[in-house]
């Protein structure tokens, strides 16, 4: 996984990198679900459209990840593949692919309550994108 964990008091932080903004959302999404469960045990047999609006890439990242947490909580889905079809300063849309949670095959490692704005950073350095996000666990 191309992400690293960040030490944070009572929460969990991640730092992700990608060559472009769609890739940054996908990498952050994979990191989110990799923290929750063993992604190698998640099959791809269903998909959900994901669409968020916001002001700026930092807000879009938080809203995108929180939408995935919401879908996971409400529908009991685990995701392992992500495609961002469009992204701009005011919105992002794509698809998440995975399957329903199966207690016989999936172990939940960490429960994510929400993605926060605390210490949020989205930057472009030397043509590569990097984000830091704190997760409320």
What confidence score (pLDDT) does residue 70 get?
98
What is the rounded average pLDDT of the residues 15-41?
Answer: 97
* Separation CA 59–CA 52 (nearest Å): 10
Domains in the chain, please, with CATH?
3-136 (3.55.10.10)
What confidence score (pLDDT) does residue 1 get?
52
Provide the mean pLDDT of the chain: 94
What confidence score (pLDDT) does residue 54 get?
95
pTM for the full predicted model: 0.93
* Separation CA 82–CA 107 (nearest Å): 21
Which residue, chain included where needed, has tokens 């791809």? 44
Which range, of 7-11, 45-49, 123-127, averages the lowest pLDDT?
7-11
What confidence score (pLDDT) does residue 2 get?
72
* Separation CA 64–CA 56 (nearest Å): 12
Q: Which residue has the higher pLDDT, 27 or 125?
A: 27
In the three-class reduction of DSSP (H, G, I as helix; E, B as strand; rest coil), residue 50 is classed as strand
* Separation CA 44–CA 23 (nearest Å): 19
Which residues fall within 8 angstroms of residue 57, CB to CB, at 6 or more apart?
Answer: 21, 87, 89, 122
What is the rounded average pLDDT of the residues 68-96?
Answer: 97
pLDDT in tens, 91-111: 999 999 999 999 999 999 999
Task: Mark out the alpha helices in 1-137 (DSSP H runs).
Answer: 21-36, 57-75
What confidence score (pLDDT) does residue 8 get?
60
Q: How many residues does the chain have?
A: 137
What is the rounded average pLDDT of the residues 75-98?
Answer: 97
């Amino acid at each position: 996984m191309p992400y690293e964990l960040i030490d944070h008091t009572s929460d969990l932080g991640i730092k992700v990198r990608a060559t472009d903004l769609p890739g940054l959302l996908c990498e952050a999404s994979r990191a989110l679900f990799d923290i929750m469960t063993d992604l190698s045990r998640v099959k791809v047999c269903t998909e959900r459209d994901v669409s968020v609006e916001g002001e700026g890439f930092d807000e879009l990242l938080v809203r995108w990840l929180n939408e995935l947490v919401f879908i996971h909580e409400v529908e009991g889905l685990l995701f392992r593949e992500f495609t961002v079809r469009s992204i701009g300063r005011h919105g992002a849309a794509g698809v998440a692919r995975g399957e329903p949670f199966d207690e016989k095959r999936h172990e939940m490692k960490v429960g994510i309550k929400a993605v926060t704005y605390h210490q949020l950073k989205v930057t472009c350095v030397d043509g590569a994108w990097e984000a830091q996000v704190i997760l409320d666990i």
